[in-house]
Amino acid sequence: MEQIVYISTSRTEPDQAMLDDILGASRRNNRRDGLTGLLVVGGRRFLQVIEGPAEVCEATYARIRADTRHFALVQLSRRAIEERSFGSWDMGCEQGSQYSLIEAVGRLTDRLTDPYLKAQFLSFAQLHSEPA
């Protein structure tokens, strides 16, 4: 199995309709393809992890790179994994909701055992936090 973590910037300020579209397609495709992951949105910045079979991760990442809704896509890490960090989530998501982005990401990542992955998400939340 493989895990890919990347960050990108939306070309426009994401509204709820855009996020619903992204999440709907991601969840549908991920269920079909056996992928799991987490998407965190901070303003126009996105931090995402996808994990699953290596060939499926690569095909999904190629599709994500080709999506014109965002730019400045930077792969932060790609590594082989033995077990999933987000095993039951076809695509978890957080925008901050009723909590600050930092609190929300903290709740979503509190059970992660990988300190590096947890630090990536918490650092992102600190950099892009806006009170709800």
Kindly write down the DSSP assignment for every residue of the chain, as one continuous string.
-EEEEEEEEESS---HHHHHHHHHHHHHHHHHHT-EEEEEEETTEEEEEEEE-HHHHHHHHHHHHH-TTEEEEEEEEEEE-SS-SSTT-SSEEES-TTS-HHHHHHHHHTT---HHHHHHHHHHHHHT----
Taking only the tens place, the pLDDT of each residue in 76-85 is 899 999 999 8
- pTM for this predicted structure: 0.81
Q: What is the pLDDT of residue 132?
A: 44
Taking only the tens place, the pLDDT of each residue in 20-41 is 999 999 999 999 999 999 888 8
Q: Which residues of the chain have pLDDT under 70?
A: 92-99, 130-132
Domains and CATH numbers, the chain: 2-94 (3.30.70.100)
